[in-house]
A = this chain, B = another copy of it.
Amino acid sequence: MTSPPSEIPGFYGVIPAGGSGTRLWPLSRRASPKFLQDLTGSGHSLLQATVQRLTPLCDDRLLVVTGARHVEAVRQSLPDLGTDSVLVEPSPRDSMPAIGLAAAVLERRDPDAVLGSFAADHVIGDTSVFRDCVTQAVAMAREGALVTLGITPTYPATGYGYVEVGETYAVTGAPDAHRVVRFVEKPAVDVARSYVADGHHLWNAGIFVVRAGTLLELLAQWHPELVAGLRRIADDPAAMDEVWDDLPRIAIDHAVAEPAAAQGRVAVVPARFPWDDVGDFASLASVLEESTTHPGLRVLGAQELVLSRDSTGVVAAHGGRTVVTLGVPDVVVIDTPDVILVTTRERVQDVKGIVEMLQHGGREDLT
């Protein structure tokens, strides 16, 4: 049987499904985090959409890495996923152990495996451009590079890290790949402005494409004990409980990407597809279509439950109730069965503070 034309031979999709999406509270909760939610009105959760996006590229060569508390919900929402396609973290250990474990598992299955790690809760448009970018990244990864897909910044965001883009690589099959000079953590706004202006910086969207072996080899330079632990679990899944909790909590950016960039081992392929991490309600509004009946308003959930006059912004009608907005510009109304949030576009970042206040005030039940 030949592969469908879009499939990338030897490519494995890895989907870390974690993170609570605190700034999307009360839509997103600890028990039903962002990746399990349909935040685009597509009828599919962000996790399901991520799987649908990757399946044409990797067929059933998929690994979802998720926490113990969500594994049941993940399996229910992805009934076609094989037993071997879900890795369960006993506790959250940030992105490096999660992706590293996938690499260790894939390395045993296929010594030449190239993995692409894509967050379960981002929105990506234009499938064919996405496929082309991933295909280039895989070609570059086969050369031994750690490859990231960098997003062209559309505004001076201070909430994302940036990638400084260097010279072009001359690699067959990856004409758009460039060297990464360095990673920059979330910058101040004036720095962010200069990045947007200079054309040499891309957003770091946390997408990495790399040979499983390369990733572990790079990681072993700085965290050999972590690689040893991951390989031990891959070798004997029963060792998970013993090993996992002693692994360091560390992000892939700090653990590997930044030091590897300093060694000239990191490449970036500019992502020409629409991308959104749906990090807050302003971001959510931008991935929703404008209501046909209520100009200026984006509605998530049951359109027929929303009645609006002279209002703009975003309304989520997830509580089964009629939601009426009258004369409120840039409003954010999130109705859920037990909590309703009313705020403005300007304050969407501060939703996180509300969740922290609830958690510290003995109202974890609402978070």
Contact = CB atoms under 8 A, between A and B. Distances in A.
Interface of A: 26, 307, 309-310, 319, 321-328, 331, 333, 335-344, 346-347, 350-351, 353-354, 357-358, 363, 366
Task: Name the residue among A338, A343, A357 with the largest chain B CB count within 10 angstroms.
Answer: A343
B324 A347 contact: no
Contact of A347 (B327, B341, B342): B327
Give the number of times this chain occurs in the complex, counting copies: 2
Q: Majority SS of interface residues in chain A?
A: mixed
Contacts of A325: 341-343
A322 B26 CA distance: 10
Given A307-B354, A353-B309, A338 B324 contact: no
Contact of A340 (B324, B328, B358): B324
A343 B328 contact: yes
A193 B242 CA distance: 80
Given A307-B358, A310-B347, A326-B347, 8 more contacts: A321-B340, A325-B343, A326-B343, A326-B351, A327-B346, A327-B350, A328-B342, A328-B343
Contacts of A26: 324
Contacts of A351: 326
Nearest to A347: B327
Contacts of A340: 319, 321-324, 333, 335, 340
Given A307-B354, A309-B353, A326-B354, A321 B347 contact: no
A331 to B, nearest CB: 6
